[in-house]
Amino acid sequence: MKKFVNDPRQFVPEMLKGIALANPETLKYVPEYNLIMRTDAPRDDKVSIIQGSGSGHEPAHVMIVGKGMLDAACPGDVFAAPPMDYVLETSKLLASPKGVLHIINNYTGDRMAFEMGQEMAEADGITIGTLIVMINGLGGTPVSELYLLYGYAHEQLAQRGINVRRNYVGNYCTSLDMAGTSITLSRLDQEIAELLVAPAEIAIRTF
């Protein structure tokens, strides 16, 4: 046996149910829309932050819902964009007086689903902002090799006079068990540096 899977068609719902059951005080599962959301969302004093893409990239995005991170995530099936109605209904459920922010992965299906969901939500009077990112995560490379790669990258940066203020080594946006890795560098200012050390409470308990 290679995978703990019952009915492949129920893999995503069963995973989402497990996440919610493991975090009953902080997370809520809405099966109609493959939705994992904070139990205290939406809130009147903050923008609701929503992200979603195909499942199979865990811990992104459903496992980073929580205080200091996402307010909700509505994934599609494995490697499939969420349907537009998932995006729309999630936006409605998370609508806040401060508005809603969609974080969109730069893949065709995700962009189409969120663009249509945004259009429909705005027609209902919901204020939506968007931010597009490109994420390339894998998942089958052992953590020992990731640290080996980090050591090499750190040395290369040091030789160029670049100080590493903070690092994250691990699996954050995977592609099931594909081998490989990606390295992302971000230039910090004081505001971003302070935000990076702000507390967060999410399902995978990384931060």
Instruction: Assign domain 8-138+186-202 one CATH number from 3.40.190.290, 3.40.50.300, 3.40.50.10440, 3.90.1300.10.
Output: 3.40.50.10440
- Domain ranges in the chain are 8-138+186-202
Instruction: Express each pLDDT in 126-185 by its tens digit.
Output: 999 876 544 474 677 777 677 778 888 888 888 887 888 778 787 777 777 778 887 888
Instruction: Express each pLDDT in 16-30 by its tens digit.
Output: 999 999 999 999 999
Question: Can you give the pLDDT at residue 133?
Answer: 47
- Residue 176's region, left for phi above 0, alpha for psi from -120 to 50, else beta, is left
Neighbours of 36 (CB within 10 A): 30
In this prediction the pTM is: 0.75
Instruction: Express each pLDDT in 52-94 by its tens digit.
Output: 888 887 888 899 999 999 999 999 998 899 999 999 999 999 9
Neighbours of 167 (CB within 10 A): 8
Whether 11 shows a pLDDT value over 80: the answer reads: yes
Instruction: Express each pLDDT in 170-186 by its tens digit.
Output: 777 777 777 888 788 87
Per-residue 3-state assignment (H helix, E strand, C coil) for 149-176 = HHHHHHHHHHHCCCCCCCCCCCCCCCCC
How far out from the chain centre does Cα 32 lie? 19
Banded model confidence at residue 1, pLDDT cuts 50, 70, 90: low
